[in-house]
Structure 1
Amino acid sequence: MKEYRRATYITLLISSRLDDYLDDTQERMERLTEPMKRAQGVTEQLKAENVLEWVQRMNNVRLFAKEIMEKEIIFA
């Protein structure tokens, strides 16, 4: 946001709402990833049985969620 939406970033920073905005963004990211994790079978059981597979699936989920967030928030 700092690079692509500079005016919005500065407005949030000056108005002391940047932290709230970032918290909301983090919560939104978590809400996005939860259904994706279920769909990909990312569970604590998988983590206990096969850590490497769990990490691979989690990385995929996070990357996909990040792409969605970037398109909706930063580049919208």
Structure 2
Amino acid sequence: MEITYTQKGDYLYPDLYLPPQPTEDIGRFGRMRKRFLKEHQKDTFALLLMENRLQEHLIEINRQALEMIDTISEQTAKATGVTEELKASDQLEWIRRMNELRAAAEQQVIREIVLI
């Protein structure tokens, strides 16, 4: 790898460029993961940052978390009888139970994906 230089005054400065970063939002779970890495796994955070892979990692964590929440919510809803029939007969009860299922799924995902 050959490095080129630019002269400014009496000094030569290397022409260093970072590859383009993904512009996708890291999302809620990506932000949680970033904070966890910064506070509790400083070595991993520094390594990902130096290798220019932090943004990719955070986007992937967010994507995995969202997929897992959807999957867990659907499976738990089926298992506990939260169906379209309940939605048609008692919407408020259906919403309450779905919110509970989603909150439980989010807590599980945070423990299993974000905080590892």
Gaps of 5+ in 2: 1-32, 39-44
Corresponding residue number in structure 1 for 2:35? 3
1:7-38 CA-partner distances (Å, limit 9, x unpaired): 2885331xx45444432322222111111001
Q: 1:67 to 1:57 in 2, by over 3 A?
A: same
Shift in Å at residue 71 of structure 1? 0.5
Larger Cα-atom Rg: 2
Matched positions, count: 74
Corresponding residue number in structure 2 for 1:50? 90
Contact persistence 1:5–1:74 (CA under 8 A): no
Task: Note if 1:12 corresponds to 2:54.
Answer: yes
In structure 2, how many angstroms separate the alpha carbons of the residues matched to 1:23 and 1:75? 15
Identity of aligned residues (%): 31
Shift in Å at residue 51 of structure 1? 0.7
Instruction: List structure 1 segments (4+ residues) > 4 angstroms apart after TM superposition.
Output: none
1:56-67 alignment runs, 5 A limit: 56-67=96-107
The structure that is helix-richer by fraction is 1
Gaps of 5+ in 1: none
Q: TM-score, normalising length from structure 1?
A: 0.76
Q: CA RMSD in A?
A: 2.2
The structure that is strand-richer by fraction is 2
In structure 1, how many angstroms separate the alpha carbons of the residues matched to 2:108 and 2:64? 15
Counterpart of 1:27 (choices 67, 73, 87) is 67
